[in-house]
Amino acid sequence: MIDKLICNNPYHEPTEHWNNVGAQQYQKLEGRRKAGYMVSTREQARFGVGKFVELDTVNHLRERVRQWREGGYQYTTGTTRKLLRHWTDREKREGMTQFFFCQIEAIETLIYLSETPEGAQFTQKIPGDGGTWQRICCKMATGTGKTLVMGMTIAWQVLNRMDYPNNPKFTKNIFIVAPNLTVKSRLQVLYPSAKKGEGDWNEDNYYEAHHIVPSEMMPKLRKGNILIENWHTLAWDTEERIAKRKSVDKRGAKSDKAYVKDVLDSRMSKEKNIVVLNDEAHHAWRVPVSSKRKSLKKEEKDATIWVGGLDRIHRNNGILRCFDFTATPFSPSGKQSDEEAVFPWIVSDFGLYDAIESGLVKTPRVVIRSDGALAKIRNEIHSKLYHIYDDPEVKDSLNFKGAAPSMGLPSLVRNAYILLNYDWLRNSADWKGVLPSMITICNNTETAARVKYEFDRKGLHGVIDEMADMGLYETDRILQIDSKMLDDAESQREAIQINEDDNLTKEKLAERLRLMVDTVGRSGEPGERVCNVIGVSMLSEGWDAKTVTHIMGLRAFSSRAGHR
């Protein structure tokens, strides 16, 4: 049994880990968990078991990087060593941001592969994605601070280029590709001149706010060319798409030079050797050449636009190297479990289990309150709460085609909500100002409408009278997400400005929804009063509501979230 889940110091390399020995039993083992992932059938995934596949490249590099670290970072430039000392000297960083071990190890691995002779040889052996430019991936669980690692990567590249202008390993040109407009907005902190309250920025730049670089280096860092765009900016017209246009405009596809001029800013479009940082890089992958399907699914089309756009930039300007950052470095394989879907260019791995055991992310748990009238309900359904969507009655009901909102919810789901709502109500008593948030992730829009209907009619508190007026029932606190409308807003290159007296167009309504989702539970923002969020697969990148305390999952979840 697990007595204390957190068993490691987040600022030091893990020394222990919990190992699943079957039947949901765990044993604490000495040493760091091997990097790898689990290949499981759906039934095996329910119990956290399956075939464990090691990431040999990562496990080998961990040891090599550790030896290199202990040897004083040999073969690096003076600028790199100064940065590494600045990041790792915990005594001198007293009162500053102390970087987590996983952040330090990620940037160390990138530096080792780029600057040391052994690392350079090793880099040549790392498999690619079939393209002509190299990708290297850092796998970091959500919540472990990969934006800071991106800032470190930028500082390392730009400052070295400034100090060693003839060294081909470095560049001052950094192109950051984000998965949507919300993430693009949050990444503005990676501009070295960003100041809170100036332009669209809500925070100071990370280099100064978190002391990523010594103050005397900031003027040099500001000479770098940094550009941040969401991947939608990379969309281009092919000859095939042009031929299908209904308009009389039949101008041909743009040349790579003209395309790059549109995508990149005036400075970077003229530069050579660009370093690309892909944020949430699991959206950027190549459809296998062997695929014989005539038409692509939406996710395949999107991935093709992302990678294909970078292909054009590489042909025209040259991509020196591409650094991928993601918590889930898998490309959809179309199969339930497929070990070949993992990115083979992963070089650093700090996964969800590692993050939980180091205390870096919240620990999920099933509601355990059994007060009074709820005790009977809890005792009857507790064993079903872990995989509620897999219950045959629930699955059949939630997949009923053409279900009206008034159809209601299966009894197991209703009782689960009563338990969750009661726990939320008790928890909310400790909050001041904004309320904690509950999110429901549904399998389809019909289920989402059924859930909202039940909250609208205040039908999810059973016989507990004190719950009859809880905040989860208040109309202006319930937000049902229109996924299509949200996607439209997230695909824009820049945010649309909205004034209170605006006659809201379709585009402005979509932007208002995006702002509400982005600011759930945040004082003084559009989503301040929202505490009950209902959506379909809406846990997308950029959604960072720190007020979330309760989650109801009414859909099938991939086992990748639990991979090691």
Q: Give the contacts of 499 (CB within 8 A, at least 6 positions apart).
A: none
Query: What is the per-residue pLDDT for 337?
Result: 45
| CB distance 537 to 483 below 8 Å | yes
Closest CA relative to residue 140, chosen from 277, 3, 321, 305: 277
Retrieve residue 209's tokens. Answer: 């706010």
- The total number of residues written for the chain in this structure: 564
Type of residue found at 475: T
pLDDT of residue 334: 46
Q: What is the pLDDT of residue 52?
A: 85
Q: Could you give the residue ranges of the DSSP H alpha helices within 212-278?
A: 218-221, 239-243, 256-263
- Decide if 132 contacts 314 (C-beta within 8 A): yes
Contact 332, 121 (CB under 8 A): no
Q: What are phi and psi of 322, to 5 degrees?
A: -115, 125
Structure tokens at 295: 């038409």
Q: How many CA within 13 A on the CB side of residue 363?
A: 11
Cβ(322)–Cβ(153) under 8 Å?
Answer: no
pTM: 0.89
Alpha-carbon span 175 to 268, nearest angstrom: 9
Phi and psi at 365, nearest 5°, equal -150, 155
Both structure tokens of 343: 């990115």
All structural domains of the chain: 127-244+252-288+296-357 (3.40.50), 374-562 (no CATH)
CA–CA–CA angle 83, 87, 89 (5° rounding):
110
| Contact in structure between 147 and 97 (CB atoms under 8 Å) | no
Give the span between the Cα atoms of 213 and 353, in whole angstroms.
30
Q: Which residue is it, tokens 């990567």?
A: 153
Interatomic CA distance for residues 335 and 318, integer angstroms:
35
Neighbours of 179 (CB within 10 A): 24
Question: 277 by DSSP, 3-state: which?
Answer: strand
Q: What is the DSSP string of 338-353?
A: -GGGB-TTEEEEE-HH
How does DSSP assign 295-333, residue by residue? S--HHHHHHHHHHHHHHHHHHHT-EEEEEEEES--B---
Q: What are phi and psi of 25, to 5 degrees?
A: -110, 140
Q: Which residues of 54-86 are buried (b: 16+ CB within 10 A; e: fewer)?
A: ebebbeebbebbeebbeeebeebbebbebbbeb
Cβ atoms < 10 Å from Cβ of 340: 11
Beta strands in 411-503 (DSSP E): 437-442, 478-480
Type and span of the H or E element at 413: helix 411-428
CA distance 535 to 478: 11
Strand 25-30 to 16-22 pairing: antiparallel
Q: Are strands 173-178 and 274-279 parallel, antiparallel or unpaired?
A: parallel
User: Is residue 135 within 8 Å of residue 322, measured between CB atoms?
Assistant: yes
Report whether 437 contacts 521 (CB < 8 A): yes
Low-confidence ranges of the chain (pLDDT < 50): 245, 248-251, 334-339, 559-564
The SS3 of residue 145 is coil
